[in-house]
Structure 1
């Protein structure tokens, strides 16, 4: 999408937001106790299963101020939420508040679906985690509110490391880690399907973490041309990609052409000693309901993943954001509900469950808490995908996965990254 079209969409979004606010102006001036309306909130099922008391408490707070207004919370599944939301937005039965994964927000910002918000209305907005705040920002305006954060860490089998190295602690540097992996591999090498480190070849989140470790980026924004340009063939990015594929070749004895979707099951089946994954996947490894292995309870450790040059490996920052729908007739109520749901008090509830809060102030104590320290410490230096109009299309076309697979199959890093740059440049500035 060219800059002119971006501006046009931005204007459309602004008009939609103004129209929505305008339609609710008369209601907004009413006594809160006289607001007889319904606020529909779409939250992901995580809130229903892990912090339902927070939803209940916030709805009670809201009810105390707006006794005649009904809050209708509808829980969604990640697998089909986007499809359902797109269909709802095309009709006249849409939510007023929606939870979005932080890689989803830009698509909805650019198509004008989200209402503009004023950060000053939200507690701790001055210390929102940058990687989350940026996913809600476009051309100096804010369109959603950070909800919670997530990061990738090392998940390891403590017993296997103890058997192979004499210690059940994960080494703190990559140099020491590779020495330990060599020993673990020797200990369990009779099983040809065993991988000391199971790092799937198409795992682009991991590959781009190594790119970030060398100072590279997937793409860069040019302030002069006002466009994005892919930068995978820069020396820094190529070093990171080669580092990643070398680790895959050396330590993954499984199917190198797979992605990371089932790597927790690989660990559950005791076919690896180490993964690089989301912190919550440690639970999946031992949960029978997720095809996990209950026998591994208390045997799976979580630690920061060592990266090149003695530093921690930069993590992709995941998480969720909350937004109002621009054409909602109760957008002001949506903003207030989000404000209550993301208040410091509410974020404390998340922190008590080892979920990373949306701000650095409340994140700080979790850096010293054993259960959360590896993930919390990975957040400040985390990286994010380009906040570009065409990023969704790039992900759908699996350009990064294809590039990595080509390298695993023998194509040179130079040739593969140059081809990926060309493909990305065709899409990155276009509306998804």
Structure 2
């Protein structure tokens, strides 16, 4: 009997946003967690800001680590498990990297030996501090750290895919050293799946770490091209889940929909609940889904300046902790999953062949041949998955995944 799909939220503190670590108020955090627990979700993903926790390469602030432990304990008191993102990294259009990696101390985040060892020490310290907490799920290396490795970042830390391989192995090992046996992973934004020159590759995402994480945002060209109620927009999260499976060696590797949200104005506030319902429903039709973690818990306060407009209203709850319609939709889905009201999805028997060459992954991006063919299949009532073109004739691999038919993009009829 497969485990029920987990439901959670990315925790954005209602007071001070992630700057709350500077003036940590456990009572405020408890009130936030109460409002999250009322949604019947079972976990939160939390974000210590790296420069606040490790302002010097050899200084990891004990008080900051104690505050993180207090947050995890408070979540546990409310029945919430916690995943901790370490290297922040990039959040809501802002970069948070310590001064010892920038300007006069400019060093590559992925290849400089001193920086890498400093990062490893930091991740190991956080993991070790939480290793004894039963509600600690594990570490995510950081939030969308691949955005630092290539354009369109204005000042990228360039690295080869081989160098990124080594960096991922070192960081995941550090997490395991700190908290053996927990669910440690890495997570990138969708350039990993869509951008030809990204050194973070689909194979790394689907093979390194305990689970594959995908982040689904329809402001990537999907909603602009197709509209909010289109098949591609409402199935975009499901597409990324199924796309990731092409590169996985384990035919039943769990996939975590770790970030997904309803961004305005492409998804207006009055339509956010319908978009949420459709997105969740379609994601739940994907086998081997570990969980759905919505972005985000609480709105960003309008008292904070300079965020992109869409960031202020992404919360399931208002800045004063009142649930929106989107919260009620997610809570309903969480209760149904917990109560076993939904049967496990059947295997997806039709697979679309995708190029194994990472230099050709733009075919999978909005407007690409794979992307468009996948959604033509969905619009025709199919439930497609994907397979690498190099595995399209591998009968053992296909059988292990329940695939009985493989088609190429040019074999999918255009209406």
Category of TM-score, reference length = shorter chain = under 0.3
Structure (1 or 2) with the greater helix fraction: 1
Instruction: Using structure 2 for the length normalisation, give the TM-score.
Output: 0.24
Q: Normalized against structure 1, the TM-score is what?
A: 0.23
Pair member with larger Rg: 1
